[in-house]
Amino acid sequence: MVTRATLADVSLAKLLDVAIGSALVDVMRIGYDKKGRPFEFQILRGPSDRFHTHVTIRG
């Protein structure tokens, strides 16, 4: 998982109902199966006050 900060462009600002240039959390996540093959890909973006992450990893 990669987490970083980014700014809302015109289209994201409209979709998220925030001001253009607002700070956003940007997360890219790839899930892999037991054989190392990717099976899930997500890109998540949102303002930090609406963004919560809980991660549980089980072997």
DSSP string, 9-48: -HHHHHHHT--TT-EEEEEEEEEE-TTS-EEEEEEEEE-G
Is 59 a domain residue?
no
pLDDT value at residue 59:
72
Count how many domains the chain has: 1
Per-residue pLDDT tens digits for 8-59: 999 999 999 999 999 999 999 999 999 999 999 999 999 988 888 788 888 7
The reported pTM is 0.72
Please state, in angstroms and rounded to a whole number, the distance separating the CA atoms of residues 7 and 48: 11
Residue 23 lies in a domain: yes
Residue 30 lies in a domain: yes
Q: Give me the domain span that covers residue 18.
A: 2-50
- Stated as kind and residue range, the H or E segment containing 52 is none
Residue 38 covered by a domain: yes
Is 44 a member of any domain?
yes
Q: Is 56 part of a structural domain of the chain?
A: no
